[in-house]
């Protein structure tokens, strides 16, 4: 090929080599099981790194996605907006084995985006007057109360894209984009897994969803892409 | 007599007007999409999509194309995709005209509780807190009473709040209420429901 692709690694284990340590803070992309970094999660399981704090909208389901890291007790704390699909999560949380910080979904996304954009805090009206506001600074702007939320900066981001080039420019597909770009932005180091690494120039520069500056390591691999709720309609009879 | 789930959804669909961008919650609110008729409504799905289409035909499910309830869906000619931060930017920024969502409790001051029952149900608020804080109009669709027959239309919510003074209109199986100064105003009774029955099922203060 003639070009050294410094960001491209052979597999998920090599892509995470040297990046993992117990107690670290990881931001993960995905919504439900859609657009989750399956390969990197499997590599975290194989590595055995533990006491993880993970910011992710959800925590997978029993036995798949981030649920795998619950089964192996590698997660100490989750920062999420919705964890209703996972019985093992409930069990560990109710027994006190797992810490949980609920964030409203938009607040979580903005915390990631802000952290990655150099914004340590922002005011939002989401959660004013609810338990989410407890202990947070309240400020009135133009007659409306807002609460202070902090930007997130993670030690590591794990992200799933559709296609990338070797410089780390990434595009996503349909609703599998979701939390992946903000999660990518907020990591000190960001590792992206994609379905296909393409030649430079194959991606339209006007349609890059995540510019390569945010991406440090890339792998390509096969994804299961499990469907959480398979809903269909009947074809009208001819 | 009262409205069933589909009649409640059909009544809620009357709230929508041509050109609106709307977010529908899970449950009865999802059914509202079946009753918009010829109105030009664009549905937002907060996981990153405007222009949500119907469920796919069997065999055409795409794991990369789901709604906020994690159900497989389809796209339309008008569809656009974006990330979660952008999605909640349009929600928080007031670009979404209305949200129609379910509730466990609503209070006469517009307080809404729909995300948590302490000690029992700990699933999370998802995008509900952002939606009720940000969209132009919040319409609740729910049963008027719980399974024990107790009113869900209360003087004050007992469950942890999703939002404070956020609800504009409540559509139940018994009728339609607006949140106004001093309490709730009866707008419309469901088919076959008397005002006495409606008042008996309502704990909140009703004002004229």
Tell me the ipTM for this assembly. Answer: 0.96
Q: Report the distance separating Cα B104 and Cα B161, nearest Å.
A: 10
Residue A4 reports pLDDT greater than 60: no
Give me the catalytic one of B46, B58, B60, B105. B46
- Cβ contact (<8 Å) for B47 and A34? yes
Q: A36 — phi, psi (to 5°)?
A: -95, 150
Q: What is the pLDDT of residue A193?
A: 98
Question: Using one digit for the tens of pLDDT, what is the confidence trace for A8-59?
Answer: 999 999 999 999 999 999 999 999 999 999 999 999 999 999 999 999 999 9
Q: Which chain A residues are Cβ-neighbours of B125 within 8 angstroms?
A: 81-82, 102, 104-105, 132
Instruction: Please say whether the beta carbons of A210 and A163 come within 8 A.
Output: no
Q: What is the pLDDT of residue A208?
A: 98
Q: In the predicted model, what is the mean pLDDT of chain A?
A: 95
Please name every residue paired with B125 in a beta bridge, in sequence order, or none if there are none: none
pTM of the model: 0.96
The β-bridge relationship of strands B21-24 and B42-45 is parallel
- Is residue B46 flagged as an active site residue? yes
Q: What is the pLDDT of residue A237?
A: 60
Span A190-217, average pLDDT: 98
Going by pLDDT thresholds of 50, 70 and 90, the confidence category of residue A108 is very high
Instruction: Please say whether the beta carbons of A170 and A164 come within 8 A.
Output: yes
Instruction: Please say whether the beta carbons of B13 and B35 come within 8 A.
Output: yes
Going by pLDDT thresholds of 50, 70 and 90, the confidence category of residue A3 is low
Q: A200 — phi, psi (to 5°)?
A: -55, 135
Q: Report the distance separating Cα A31 and Cα A59, nearest Å.
A: 9
- Maximal C-alpha separation, chain A: 62
Please name every residue paired with B189 in a beta bridge, in sequence order, or none if there are none: B175
Distance in angstroms between the alpha carbons of the first and the last residue of chain B: 24
The residue of chain A nearest to residue B44, with distances taken between CA atoms, is A175
């Amino acid at each position: 090929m003639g070009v050294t692709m410094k960001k491209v690694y052979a597999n998920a284990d090599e892509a995470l080599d040297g990046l993992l340590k117990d107690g670290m803070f990881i931001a993960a992309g995905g919504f439900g099981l859609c657009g989750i970094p399956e390969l990197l999660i499997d590599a975290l399981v194989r590595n055995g790194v533990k006491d993880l704090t993970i910011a992710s909208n959800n925590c997978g389901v029993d036995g798949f996605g981030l649920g795998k890291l619950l089964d192996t007790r590698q997660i100490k704390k989750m920062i999420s907006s919705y964890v209703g699909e996972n019985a093992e999560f409930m069990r560990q949380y109710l027994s006190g084995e797992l810490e949980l910080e609920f964030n409203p979904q938009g607040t979580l996304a903005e915390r990631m985006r802000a952290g990655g954009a150099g914004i340590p805090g922002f005011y939002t009206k989401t959660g004013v007057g609810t338990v989410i506001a407890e202990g947070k600074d309240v400020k009135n702007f133009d007659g409306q109360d807002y609460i202070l939320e902090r930007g997130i900066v993670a030690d590591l981001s794990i992200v799933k894209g559709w296609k990338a080039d070797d410089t780390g420019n990434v595009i996503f597909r349909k609703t599998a984009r979701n939390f992946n770009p903000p999660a990518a932005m907020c990591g000190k180091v960001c590792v992206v897994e994609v379905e296909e690494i393409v030649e430079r120039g194959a991606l339209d520069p006007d349609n890059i969803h995540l510019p390569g500056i945010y991406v440090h390591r890339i792998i390509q691999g096969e994804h299961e892409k499990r469907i959480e709720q398979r809903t269909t309609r009947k074809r009208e009879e001819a | 007599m009262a409205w069933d789930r589909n009649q409640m959804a059909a009544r809620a669909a009357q709230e929508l007007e041509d050109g609106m961008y709307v977010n529908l919650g899970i449950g009865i609110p999802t059914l509202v999409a079946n009753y918009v008729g010829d109105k030009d409504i664009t549905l937002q799905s907060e996981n990153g999509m405007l222009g949500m289409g119907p469920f796919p035909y069997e065999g055409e499910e795409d794991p990369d194309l789901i709604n906020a309830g994690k159900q497989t869906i389809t796209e339309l000619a008008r569809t656009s995709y974006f990330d979660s931060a952008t999605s909640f930017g349009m929600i928080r920024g007031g670009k979404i005209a209305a949200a129609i969502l379910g509730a466990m409790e609503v209070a006469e001051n517009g307080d809404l509780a729909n995300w948590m029952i302490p000690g029992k149900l700990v699933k999370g608020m998802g995008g509900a807190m952002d939606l009720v804080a940000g969209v132009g109009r919040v319409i609740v669709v729910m049963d008027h009473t719980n399974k024990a027959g107790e009113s869900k239309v209360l003087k004050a919510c007992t469950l942890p709040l999703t939002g404070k003074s956020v609800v504009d209109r409540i559509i139940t199986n018994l009728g339609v209420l607006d949140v106004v100064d001093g309490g709730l105003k009866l707008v419309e009774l469901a088919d076959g429901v008397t005002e006495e029955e409606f008042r008996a099922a309502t704990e909140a203060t009703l004002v004229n």
